[in-house]
Structure 1
């Protein structure tokens, strides 16, 4: 294993839990389409970091997705572990909200062109059967968790 990540807990500005992300097992194909990996839960071995040259400073928003895609292209074994590894704070000034519609979307489009060979319109992405299956697996894992059962 070269890279691992896990589930995330969402908290508000006062550190109150407001939600959870339950992620299915890692899927290389999904990673090339969309970045569901919670960056705050992400850990990697130094050898894969050194192999890909670290973060690309030209990215301001999607630097974690770019890094993951380069890890993948370098042959990294990426694994999602079935544990909550970190919290993500939701607040008005966070980069995810503030930058998504400007620099963020441009970087996302750039990475999709790099991995898919073209831009993918939002409607096409939302109706992609692979993403729909992935999100259904996520919902099923959450359902099992709420029943007190564990899921892979």
Structure 2
């Protein structure tokens, strides 16, 4: 049996309507993977979807846990592949994406991670919009999260070095992770290709807890950059309140 190149944790809770597509996109990749579904005790059809894929999964469980970050750390710790990532159960990979990211990681051999471009799939309108992703610079990272989580691939050695995602964070755990990986291991490498899709729907945490998301992000910037650029305070009314209102009333996001 071919040794897996990537360990993928799939944290999930009551996302059965999306989970099948996420797992399909993983197993359609052209690289060997080991996949661990960490379900938080769903009460929808998630267990049926997990059962469908059980023979291809390297592990799965379904019970109450300590939250998304803890589930991600748990899933990745179960594997042993050279590279790691997580795919939320409402997102999906594009065909060939992991091989593109691995090729870049193997070519550079420096830095903790590689990342590509990502689409937002707006569930309400069934349309695609590009996520704001840029080549890396600390200045730009201090102004916004320029890395899209579903489009990332991390070296296991770097993941273990920093201890994975911070389970104390609930909204900005990925933003905090990029900062810690950068500080410990150097700048990540950008792949100028679309490799993943982030699903935007009414049940996402970023839509329902915008204020908490913004508060956590500001704390992350202050912790790792030393100060909070004025952009964060100037953009807060739009990012927190107006965007939420637009979504509730059916306006553009």
* Structure 1 and Structure 2 fold alike (TM over 0.5): yes
Query: Closer, same or farther in 2 for the Cα pair 1:49/1:82, shift >3 Å?
Result: same
Structure 1 residues not aligned, in runs of 5+: 127-152
Separation of aligned partners in 1, 2:170 and 2:114: 23
Structure 2 residues not aligned, in runs of 5+: 1-109, 236-253
Residue 215 of structure 2, aligned match among 106, 126, 129:
106
TM-superposition CA deviations, 1:78-136 (whole Å, max 9, x none): 011011110111111211111121x212211211211333344447666xxxxxxxxxx
Task: Report what 2:192 is aligned to.
Answer: 82
Task: Report what 2:102 is aligned to.
Answer: none
Q: Which has the higher contact order (CA 8 A, sep 6+)?
A: 1
Indicate conservation of the 8 Å contact 1:113/1:119, yes or no.
Answer: yes
Pair 1:54 & 2:160 matched: no
Query: Closer, same or farther in 2 for the Cα pair 1:122/1:24, shift >3 Å?
Result: closer
Indicate conservation of the 8 Å contact 2:116/2:194, yes or no.
Answer: yes
Partner of 1:11, secondary structure, is strand
Deviation at 1:14, TM superposition (A): 6.9
Pair 1:3 & 2:113 matched: yes
The root-mean-square deviation of aligned C-alpha atoms, in Å, is: 2.3
TM-score (structure 1 length as normaliser): 0.71
Deviation at 1:55, TM superposition (A): 0.9
Query: Closer, same or farther in 2 for the Cα pair 1:18/1:110, shift >3 Å?
Result: same
Deviation at 1:26, TM superposition (A): 1.7
Separation of aligned partners in 1, 2:126 and 2:155: 32
Task: Report what 1:135 is aligned to.
Answer: none
Partner of 1:83, secondary structure, is strand
Query: Closer, same or farther in 2 for the Cα pair 1:125/1:50, shift >3 Å?
Result: farther
TM-score (structure 2 length as normaliser): 0.45
